[in-house]
Amino acid sequence: MSILPARRPSPHPADGARPRRAPVGAPARRAAATGAALLLLAGTGPAPAAADGAGADTMTIAVSQQVDSFNPFTAQLAVTTNILRHVYDSLVTVDPESNEPAPALAEEWESSDDGLTWTFHLRDDVAFTDGEPLTADDVVWTFTTIMENEAAAIASGNYVAGFESVTAEDDHTVVVRLDEPQATMTSLDVPIVPRHVWEPVLEEEGDAFAEYSNEVFPLVGSGPFVLTEHERGRHITLEANPDHWRGAPGLDRVVLRYYSEKDAAVEALRSGEVSFVYELTDAQATSLEGTDDIAVNIAEGKRFQAFTINPGAETQDGEAFGDGHPALSDLTLRQAIVMAIDNEEIVDKAHNGQAVAAGGYIPPRYEDFHWSPEGAEATLAFDPGAANAMLDEAGYERGEDGVRVSPEGDRLSLRLHAHVDRPDNVQAALVMVERLADIGIEVENNTVDPGVLSDALHEGEYDLIFTGWTVNPDPDYVFSIHTCGALPVEPGTMQGDAYFCDEEYDELYEAQLAEYDRGARVELVHELQEVLYTEAVVNVLAYPNILEAYRTDHVTGLQVQPDPGGNIWGQDGYWAWWSAEPAAPGEAAASSGPSTGVLWAVGGGAALLVLVGALVLVVRRATAGDRE
Amino acid sequence: MTGAPTTSDRPAGPGAPEAPAPAGPAGSGRLARALVYVAGRLTTAAVSLAAVVAAGFFLFRILPGDPVRAMTEGREVSAEQREELRRQFGLDRSPAEQFLDYAAGLLRLDLGTSFQYREPVAELILDRLGPTLLLAGTGTVVAAALGLFLGARAGWRPGGRGDRVNTAVALFFWSVPTFWLGLLLIVVLASGRGFVPDLFPTGGMVDPDATGPWEVALSTARHMVLPVATMVAVIYAQYLMIMRSSLMDEKGADYLTTARAKGLRDSLVRRRHAVPNALLPTVTLVFLNLGQVVSGVILVETVFSWPGLGQLFYSGLRVPDLGLVQGLFVVFAASVILMNLLADLVYPLLDPRVRP
């Protein structure tokens, strides 16, 4: 192969030339092309060993998702946004116990009477890891850059969409002026970066800023950990920041090791090579339960699993497109479909009981925003008899084959699209086919690749389709995708996932966004969920639990979120890693370091035996003629 | 894998050259013929490569799904943010424009930029090429040596007990799913549930905290044992079978009778006379396999979390990261084409019977 990346400035700088990137890793890595992997590995120095020897007080996490970029302005994947949360502080974080906004860089904040001006008062004891103090200037520069530079808005542009200006009143006071009131101001998940590091980068990179990967280790941040190393596809290393204003983390180091196969990662947890695995399947969690030195953590889900019914896909101008079944625009039919499905059965059969049967749109882990239809509100509770009666009354007569026909004469044969890569969807689809047959609806089950499903959704060529969202502590976004403004401008550009558009809903949505009183906002959010529930376009089935496991002989004291019953990986904040302590100082990661000489000898000895055997054979053959 | 020759004068392997041109006067005529042959092969390879580049580009664009939608799935992004990503990936321009850009880049050996990693594809590939070559190269060498050695023995006494056992075992491993075998090895030999706890690591290529070249080399060797064993177990059968059948072909040849008549021991007749001739068709197979080496270890790399090209390709297909899969596709295809070309060029040198 003679394909070499252009590493010097290209001789054709005019068009299409790639500007130079910051160098990544040691120059020796460039020698990889020769395939001399051993030599090249030797050339990349590993992380500096801790004072008391390698592997001291380390927590090793098995990850599979690759890094897109460590540039906080562009990083989008879960693994990188999670890591960056530990590297850069944000203004406000999320309380580990209550899931409510909690002080971080900002000690306190207030809004003006008209709701258009927010003032954040920063702590005065925060420094970046290079010793420079973190001031209002850094905050202003971070927000302004996202507002003014499109390439810098890729990750967090939605947070600043309603900002008019961000200014510094003094070194520790930041003032944000808004176009419209927005209640989400206390949940701005935006990493604050050091201006003195990033301003030169932005100038130098110019148009190529989106491709800047920020792999200049150790990264200068203000968070509880410092990112010190990244070997793509192998591992990522974070070292503790002993000077963090919240207090030094209990661990010396967090290492994320790559395991592309979750089953292999589970085996690595058994052998002690890793301390923590997350996103387990039910079967994996069950197999780990009761194992010595391993704790399985079952947490309340952040996700909801739902299916949506095509109410008739339309653009914002009301132009219909797609080929959804015409009868589905009838509310009665949609409600009957929901009443025919038993969410408890979905939990048992599709999630093996590792989920909570759904009520409203927001999972119960967010206690105050969660709404569940109770008593008289539960108009769509599982009741196939009532569903059949409703359809009979509305003129959906059963044909000879038991399948109903709409009053307009359309046979009720519906397509269902499920993600082939989500086992719970595949199982839930099978349950739904059976239950809908009970009320005279025939379902054609399409279990397809996520890409196929996404195309069907955005072209409006579906009847019933699976969806799901991870809900953040502030629920604004998952509601915004069902406003009329989220409808596509032209087919294929929809922001949401359901072609839902309802005037009453939109009014409630605007009201909750402008409501700064949490109690009043909670009420509005409940009403929003009631509208969604009654309209039966977006129908939530279950909230799957989060399953993870860790070695109790490596780490202890991991703060879950929410507490109790919360998760460890993927928190809103850095509580788990920051609070973790080594289980037995100095011994925690003994097993993840190079093993004892015995094991080396066994591994090497096997190879040696093969070599010696081969040699003997060759010698024997060479002299065979003489021995005759 | 087919390619077992049925006649002893012309191997019909996948890389077997076409019928030689009619014999002309010796000397300069032979050189001219050789040049024509080489030029023909080079042209074929170049045309194939161009076809692959074009096909790959449009093939991946008809994959269902939208890269930007897939990358932002579940993220709180606005319409403007999606637009910006589309613009950056060049997806806002016509396919024809995109293709011309891509082709122009290829001529400068620029494979384009990966969407999800925001890095030049060529750099990503170079990063991963070493580990893949190390794993696949070792696996191929061991599998070929083992397969040829056992195949020669099996083919020498076809139908004997050794032949039956050898063939059965090889075919058993050939039909075992790679994934399953790999996981089984991990469970038994790595996770501490086997006889010896923690004999080998469960995945990766080298310990993150290995320091110094010596430790890194040892750690890599230890990490290689299971993936190489899995790979060898699954592929050595093809070498065994082809060696076996081509040796069976040579068995009845006259020159072996001559060798025996000279009073040579049976094993010498096999090693010095039969095996060298029987090796020829297998050479083609080895070359063809080298081409696939780069792409053929996807499953093994996935099970053992080996940081190679297979893992990279898999992560690119999921998005679909058009920039990355296109680039990898070109590299995989080019390596197969290149190895085929090499087989075509080397074979006449090895086997006088097919010289043009």
- What CATH number has the domain bearing residue A308? 3.10.105.10
Bridge partners (DSSP) of residue B113 are B120
- B207 and A154: CB-CB below 8 Å? no
A318 and A402 inside one domain: yes
Bridge partners (DSSP) of residue A102 are A93
A154 and A290 inside one domain: yes
* Residue predicted with more confidence, A509 or B21: A509
- B126 and A594: CB-CB below 8 Å? no
Which residues of A, range 151-170, sit inside 8 Å of B by Cβ?
151, 153-154, 157-158, 161
- Dist CA A517 CA A628 (whole Å): 100
A507 and A540 inside one domain: yes
pLDDT tens sequence across A549-576 = 999 999 999 999 998 899 999 999 999 9
A74 and A220 inside one domain: yes
What pTM value is reported for the model? 0.82
pLDDT at B294: 59
**β-bridge pairing A555-556 and A581-582:** antiparallel
A234, B301 in Cβ contact below 8 A?
no
> Does residue A25 have a pLDDT over 60?
no
> Mean pLDDT over residues A68-86, rounded?
93
In the sheet with A58-63, reading across from the earlier edge strand, the strands are A225-231, A235-240, A253-258, A58-63, A276-277, A546-551, A294-299
pLDDT at B74: 77
pLDDT at A372: 93
User: Residue A2: its chain B contacts at CB < 8 A?
Assistant: 109
* Residue predicted with more confidence, A153 or B17: A153
pLDDT at B292: 63
For residue A38, give every residue at least 6 positions away whose Cβ sits within 8 Å of its Cβ, in sequence order, or none: B134, B213, B216, B217, B220
Q: Which residue range(s) make up the domain with A111?
A: 58-298
pLDDT at B302: 87
Return phi, psi of residue A447, to 5°. Answer: -95, 110
Residue A334 lies in a domain: yes
Cβ–Cβ contact B183 with A under 8 A: yes
> To the nearest whole percent, how much of chain A has pLDDT over 70?
84
Which residues of A, range 472-531, sit inside 8 Å of B by Cβ?
472, 477, 493, 495
Domain boundary among A281, A298, A315: A298
* Residue predicted with more confidence, A110 or B108: A110
Angle at alpha carbon of residue A19, lines to A18 and A22, rounded to 5°: 120
> Does residue A254 have a pLDDT over 50?
yes
A70–chain B nearest CA distance, Å: 10
Q: Which CATH number goes with the domain that contains A112? A: 3.40.190.10
A226 and A307 inside one domain: no
User: Residue B268: its chain A contacts at CB < 8 A?
Assistant: 624-625
Exposed / middle / buried, residue B206 (Cβ in 10 Å: 0-12, 13-18, 19+):
buried
Residue A72 lies in a domain: yes
In the sheet with A303-309, reading across from the earlier edge strand, the strands are A355-357, A538-544, A303-309, A464-470, A413-419, A442-448
Residue A607 lies in a domain: no
> Mean pLDDT over residues A39-56, rounded?
37
> Mean pLDDT over residues A343-359, rounded?
94
* Residue predicted with more confidence, A93 or B204: A93
A292 and A313 inside one domain: no
CB atoms within 10 A of CB B180: 11
User: Residue B219: its chain A contacts at CB < 8 A?
Assistant: 594
User: Residue A68: its chain B contacts at CB < 8 A?
Assistant: 116-118
Domain boundary among A544, A574, A589: A544
Amino acid at B65: G
Residue A225 lies in a domain: yes
The stretches in chain B having pLDDT less than 50 are 1-24
Q: What is the total count of domains within chain A?
A: 2
Angle between helices A262-271 and B178-189 (to 10 degrees): 10
Q: Under DSSP, is residue B214 helix (H, G, I), strand (E, B) or coil?
A: helix
> Does residue A32 have a pLDDT over 80?
no
Residue A272 lies in a domain: yes
> Mean pLDDT over residues A344-365, rounded?
94
Query: Among B110, B193, B221, whose Cβ lies nearest the Cβ of A270?
Result: B193
* Residue predicted with more confidence, A493 or A44: A493
pLDDT tens sequence across A297-326 = 999 999 999 999 999 999 999 999 999 999
pLDDT at A607: 62
Exposed / middle / buried, residue A596 (Cβ in 10 Å: 0-12, 13-18, 19+):
exposed
Domain boundary among A253, A275, A298: A298
Q: Which residue of A has its CA nearest to B327?
A: A3
A382 and A291 inside one domain: no
* Structural domains of chain B ordered from first start: 40-75+88-179+221-350 (1.10.3720.10)
A391–chain B nearest CA distance, Å: 35
Bridge partners (DSSP) of residue A303 are A470
Q: How many CB pairs under 8 A join A and B?
A: 276
Residue A612 lies in a domain: no
pLDDT tens sequence across A164-222 = 999 999 999 999 999 999 999 999 999 999 999 999 999 999 888 988 999 999 999 99
Cβ–Cβ contact B21 with A under 8 A: no
Mean pLDDT of the residues in chain B: 83
A424 and A510 inside one domain: yes
A276 and A313 inside one domain: no
Residue A404 lies in a domain: yes
Residue A571 lies in a domain: no
A308 and A445 inside one domain: yes
Cβ–Cβ contact B184 with A under 8 A: no
- Dist CA A68 CA B75 (whole Å): 14
A349 and A468 inside one domain: yes
Query: Among A38, A49, A600, whose Cβ lies nearest the Cβ of B216?
Result: A38
Least confident of A25-34, A443-452, B115-124, B256-265: A25-34
A147 and A292 inside one domain: yes
pLDDT tens sequence across A581-626 = 998 754 444 444 444 444 555 555 566 666 666 666 665 655 555 5
